[in-house]
Each structure stands twice: as C-alpha cells, then as structure tokens.
Chains A and B, each alone.
Chain A
Amino acid sequence: MIETRIDRRFAKLKAEGRAAFVSYFMANDPDYDTSLKILKGLPGAGADVIEVGMPFTDPMADGAAIQAAGLRSLASGGSLRNTLKLISEFREGDNETPIVLMGYYNPVYAYGVEDFLKDAVKAGVDGLIIVDLPSEEDSELCIPAREAGINFIRLATPTTDEKRLPAVVNNSSGFLYYVSIAGTTGAAAPEPADVAKALERIRKATDLPIAVGFGIRRGDQAAEIAKIADAAVVGTALVERVANAASPDEAVSSVLELAKELSAGVQSVTKN
C-alpha cells in the first residue's frame, strides 16, 4: 500500500536512532475545545504519533479510566462525526504528525464503512486500531481501509502464540501494537524482561515497527520500553490527568506536562 505519515514517521525515527512516543487521549474529553487544545499541543510536547480514542458506550477491553473518559466524552456530545472534525481542525496546522483512531467497531459500522473511510481520509487520519476486529473479520474494515490508504494496526498480546501470530500480522500495516499484558487498559506494568522476550518472538514474524503499551505511567518506564521496542504507548496515565484536572485549562497543561516527561524518557534512549 501507499506510504502513510505513520510509515514516514517510523522511518525517520529509525534513521535518528530512537524510539517513538505514542500518546493516547479520548476525543471530546472533557469537551471538544479542550480536547482540540490537547491534540494541538501534543506534537510540541514530544508526541511522535497520536492515538485518538473514539468514544463508545461499551468499551469491553478498557479499564475504569478509559471507560470514564468515554462517558465524559459522550456526555459532552462526543461522537464519531465530531472526532473526525477534531482531526480535520488539527490537520489545518499539522500535516506531519500521524493520527491513529482507536476504538470499537459499532460506531464505525453505524456510520457506514465506506462513508467513514472517505471522511477519515479527508480528515487526515492515518491509521485505525479497532479493538473488536480480529483478523477473522478482516473483510469488514481492515481490507477496505488498506485500499483507502489507511493503516490497519493490530494488537498482539501475550496470548498471541506462534500459531496465532501469522494471522495477526497478515494484512496489518503501519506498526504492530504489542499489548504487554493480558488485561484491560490501566493494568499494572509488566516486567521489561518479559516484554523483551515476547518482542524477540514477534520480530521473527514481522518487519513492522513494534509499539508496546499497557501500564506505562512515568518517563523512566517509557525509557525502559524505548530500549527494547520501536515505540512506547501511554494512554491511561494521560487520560487520568484529564479526570483529575480542576478546570479544562488545567487538563490541557497537566496532560502536556506528562507528555513532555514521557517523551523525554523515550528520547533519552539512543540506539546505535
């Protein structure tokens, strides 16, 4: 498929000899304007790739923090339509930072796959992570997305054994997201040594860059992951900053402050 902003970003970072910092936050959380400010501030705070959560009422694979973020988003009018609007507005000022939408299939299915892909391309979306679309359901969205020039990024987990790995890698592009523990988002961090062992196994099956997430909360943890993976993903810790903020302005500054700490951790590690 054609090269996306994601492909270009990972190629550039590889040449620079460092890993990527991937940040996640929920669209429209706590409201549209605040989340737009967060989004616009993230590249400056060191986010190399930005995952934007699409709110859903029933996020089966998420822990309490991201569930709550989705509900805050929906309560203030969040929807797939205004998530795409958010990306369009962001793109007016940034045509380089890759944007990945992450969420569940039903809102996309309700929007209509064809219309969604058309509007997502127009808005400047580069990749999709749809938690409840395993490779068994590739014909739903994965293959149409590829054809539209959008990366379909798949999750691999500790339960993804040798037998399963080829199915996970097949048709996926952009990067592979290794969820480092079996569990929901917000769970405790795994041992870096265990992650390293798993990555060794996965690298035999794919040349895609591998991002590692789940449980990373601080800069030093992000640095540990940056040593062994191509990217470190942080979500829950950033989303909790929104939840704990006393005002929308504080939400923006608090998220960006943590993003800076995390990206500094990732950038402190140089590889050959």
Chain B
Amino acid sequence: MSQQLNTYRAGPDETGHFGIFGGQFVAETLMPLILELNDAYEEAKKDPAFAEQLSGLLKHYVGRESPLYFAERLTEHYGGAKIYLKREDLNHTGAHKINNCMGQILLAMRMGKKRIIAETGAGQHGVATATVAARFGLPCTIYMGETDIERQKPNVFRMKLMGAEVIPVKSGSRTLKDAMNEALRDWVTNVENTFYIIGTVAGPHPYPQLVRDFQNVIGEEVRRQIMEQEGRLPDALLACIGGGSNAMGLFHPFLDDEDIDIYGVEAAGEGLDKKHAASLKGGRPGVLHGNRTYLLQDEDGQIAEAHSISAGLDYPGIGPEHSWLNDIGRVNYVSATDQEALDAFQLCCELEGIIPALESSHALAYLEKLARDLPKDKIIVVNLSGRGDKDIFTVADALGVEL
C-alpha cells in the first residue's frame, strides 16, 4: 500500500496487505472458500438491501446506537480531561463482539452456508456467535481453550443455553490461540457447508477488513454523538487490544483526523519483562493464523504463550492493520498490567456504577497515565468494549474473596 496516499483508511490493498502485514497464509483447502468469501463480501457491500438488513438488526436486536456517556466522577477523580465512555457493554450480549457477528452471519446466509463455527477467548465472541446462530436457526460449534472455559464459566453456560456446542480445546496453552487452531482444523474439514465467524480483526484477508468494517459503527456513532454533546471531535481515543477489533472499530473512522491522539492498550500481564500478551511491544513480525503480523515468538519462530488476567486479551498476536498503524506511527500502542487493570476495574465499579469487562479495564487503566495530565478542556473517549459480569469470579479470586 502506498504511503503517499493522504489517507490512513484506504487499506488493505487488493492482495489483502496493510504495508507488509496481512495477506492470505492458509492451507490450500481453504483458499477457494476465502476467495469466494471475498467476492461475496464485495457484492454485499454494494447491495443496499444488505446494509438495510444489518442496520435494522443492529437497531432493534442489538440495541444500537450505544450511548456515549460522560463519566463525570471518573473525570473528577483524575482531575484532568473530560472522560467519555462508549457504552458497548450495553449492547445485547454485553460487548462489541455482536456488531461483527451480525454482519458475518448475514454474509454466511448469503453464501448459503448451513453451519457456523467460531473460536472464543473470554467467551464474549462465542456468546455473540451463539446468539446470532440461534436467532437465524443455524447450528453452531464454538471452540474454547480449557483454561478459558475454567475462568469464563458463565459465558460457557450462556452459549449452551442458546444451543451452541462448546468444544474444549486441550492443545497448547489451552487459550484463544489454540481455540483458533482448532476452529481452523474444523473449517478445513467441513469447508463445504461451514462458515467461520472470526471474532477479531485478524486471520486471512478479507477477515481483518470485514471485521473492521462491521465494527466501524462504533467510531461512526462516536463522531456523531460527540458532535451533538460537545460540538467538536475528541482529543484522544483509548481502547484495549486483544486481536484489536473494538479498538479498530473506534479508531478507524478517526484515523485521518491527525490532531486526535489514538492509544491502543495491550495487556502487559505480569509486566513486559515477565509473562504478558503485548505482541507489539514484546514481539516481532511473523506469520500465524492466516496473516503476517507482530507475534510473541522465540528465535526459532515457535509461537510463545501469552499471558493476561483477561481471557479476551490472552493472544500472542494482533490484527495486521494495527501492526501497520504501529510501524507508521499513527497509533500509540501502550500497555497495562493485570494489576493496573484490576485497579481500574474496581475504580469504575465504585465511581461510575459500571462493572467493566477485564478487557476494557485495560483501556480504563491507561487513564491513570493520560487523563491527569491533559487539561480540563480536552476530551478523551474510552471504548468500554464490554461488561464485566463474566469476570466476577476471576476478580474475586484475584482479590482473595470467596464467592
């Protein structure tokens, strides 16, 4: 992709690359289907009926638009810039993930696919996938690492209630990366009838693009809402990064507003010098799960295990567009530790009466570094990507409380 272009929003190029990142690194069995998906998506984009159906479902089923809420007491607490929270936690199923699932299941049906599969970490994407599959009557199989099944029990039960089959993944670190491997194995085996709903802006082209496009509704709404409430655009944007879909959805509509500082917060786990999940800050470019991107890996190119208290961020990679935005310097990628996220989680509960997801708490944690020093007339928008009900067991455990 040419960098002379005076927009940051033109990617990917026709071969699915953002600079050197992205691409289509998959087994040959999947290639014809991926090309077919690309064609189907290009067609759907041109079809006004598709957009109309999607926006109707987002409004009446998901409950969009989600509020942009002025967090008065958090603002007071830090004593600096005004803090707004984009309330993706108030969507049906409790996170941003459903924006993407709704788009993809409509595509799956356009393509005549009869079966849905997905991987999940925190279980939010699994729940959102199980939800849309139930809504449209398609059988659904969710792959989830055993470690994550243990720490996200409520979500496992929610998926089952909606009729999804949840398959525990026992290989590797038994987390999100392994769930994705297993979902890819299922897809290779059942490629004729199966649609794979990938949950973040990663995977082979066109997934990073189409997931981003379906999540862009977040940033587009924020633009409108902040103009209504403040009469101007914000000064800074903040979102957590697992694969990077909630972040990309917020950031992308603002990439060309160069005055806006954009921050993506990776999970620093126990610290960047210990076990963590910060692919950009602690990894280097490599190829996994269909795309070239920054990865946690050893000298030999073996993928390292990530660590984060938050299952949704516990992944050794990141979407390729983020890798590109990092290298060209448009977005600042920073990190927050498990402890910082836990502190931010409690603060948000106590000051705002909102229980945030542990994932989103990583974005909130960075307010500590950002909000205090920005003058009172500045505006920060934080993506509250999901609600934290699913995390109460993990948090209780970390706080030494028995439930």
Binding site for B on A (CB under 8 A): 55-63, 67, 74, 79-81, 104-111, 131-137, 154-161, 163-164, 168, 179, 182-184, 187
8 nearest A-B pairs in the assembled complex, by CB-CB distance? A110-B301, A107-B301, A183-B189, A106-B301, A157-B29, A79-B300, A61-B27, A132-B25
A55 surroundings in chain B (CB, below 8 A): 302
Using a Cβ cutoff of 8 Å, how many contacts connect chains A and B? 121
**Min CB distance, A251 to chain B, in Å?**
22
Partner of A134 from B24, B171, B189, B286 at Cβ < 8 Å: B24
Q: Are B27 and A131 in contact (CB under 8 A)?
A: yes
Q: Are B171 and A67 in contact (CB under 8 A)?
A: yes
**Min CB distance, B310 to chain A, in Å?**
21
- What mask results when residues 25 to 51 of chain B are scored 1 for a CB within 8 Å of chain A, else 0? 111111111010000000000000000
Taking CB atoms and an 8 Å cut-off, the chain B residues in 158-180 that contact chain A are 171-172, 177-178
- Would you give 23 A-B contacts (Cβ < 8 Å), ordered by A? A55-B302, A57-B302, A58-B289, A58-B303, A59-B181, A60-B185, A67-B171, A79-B300, A79-B302, A80-B300, A105-B287, A106-B295, A110-B286, A132-B27, A133-B25, A137-B23, A155-B28, A155-B29, A159-B32, A164-B32, A164-B35, A184-B189, A187-B189
Partner of A60 from B15, B27, B292 at Cβ < 8 Å: B27
A157 surroundings in chain B (CB, below 8 A): 27-29
Q: Are B288 and A106 in contact (CB under 8 A)?
A: yes
**Min CB distance, A11 to chain B, in Å?**
26
Partner of B26 from A58, A80, A134, A163 at Cβ < 8 Å: A134
In this complex, how many residues of chain B approach chain A with their Cβ under 8 Å: the count is: 38
B24 surroundings in chain A (CB, below 8 A): 134, 136-137
The answer, yes or no, to whether B337 is at the interface (CB within 8 Å) is no
Residue of B27, B33, B286, B290 with highest tally of chain A CB at under 10 A: B27
Instruction: Classify the interface of chain B: helix, strand, loop or mixed.
Output: mixed
A136 surroundings in chain B (CB, below 8 A): 15, 23-24, 31
The answer, yes or no, to whether B273 is at the interface (CB within 8 Å) is no
A133 surroundings in chain B (CB, below 8 A): 25
Task: Return the chain A residue nearest B298 by Cβ.
Answer: A110
The answer, yes or no, to whether B71 is at the interface (CB within 8 Å) is no
B395 surroundings in chain A (CB, below 8 A): none
B188 surroundings in chain A (CB, below 8 A): 60-61, 182-184
Instruction: Classify the interface of chain A: helix, strand, loop or mixed.
Output: loop
Partner of B302 from A56, A132, A160 at Cβ < 8 Å: A56
Taking CB atoms and an 8 Å cut-off, the chain B residues in 388-402 that contact chain A are none
Taking CB atoms and an 8 Å cut-off, the chain B residues in 307-341 that contact chain A are none
Say yes or no: A57-B303 contact (C-beta < 8 A), given A109-B287, A132-B287. yes
B172 surroundings in chain A (CB, below 8 A): 57-58
Binding site for A on B (CB under 8 A): 15, 23-33, 35, 171-172, 177-178, 181, 184-185, 188-192, 286-290, 292, 295, 297, 299-303
Q: Are A106 and B287 in contact (CB under 8 A)?
A: yes
Q: Are A107 and B302 in contact (CB under 8 A)?
A: yes
Q: Are B181 and A60 in contact (CB under 8 A)?
A: yes
Say yes or no: A134-B31 contact (C-beta < 8 A), given A58-B177, A182-B191, A183-B188. yes
A109 surroundings in chain B (CB, below 8 A): 286-287, 292, 301
Q: How far is the CA of A157 from the CA of B184 in the complex (A)?
A: 16
Q: How far is the CA of A164 from the CA of B28 in the complex (A)?
A: 10
**Min CB distance, B296 to chain A, in Å?**
11
**Min CB distance, A135 to chain B, in Å?**
8
B25 surroundings in chain A (CB, below 8 A): 105, 132-134, 137
Task: Return the chain A residue nearest B302 by Cβ.
Answer: A57
Task: Return the chain A residue nearest B171 by Cβ.
Answer: A67
**Min CB distance, B116 to chain A, in Å?**
18
A131 surroundings in chain B (CB, below 8 A): 27
**Min CB distance, B114 to chain A, in Å?**
15
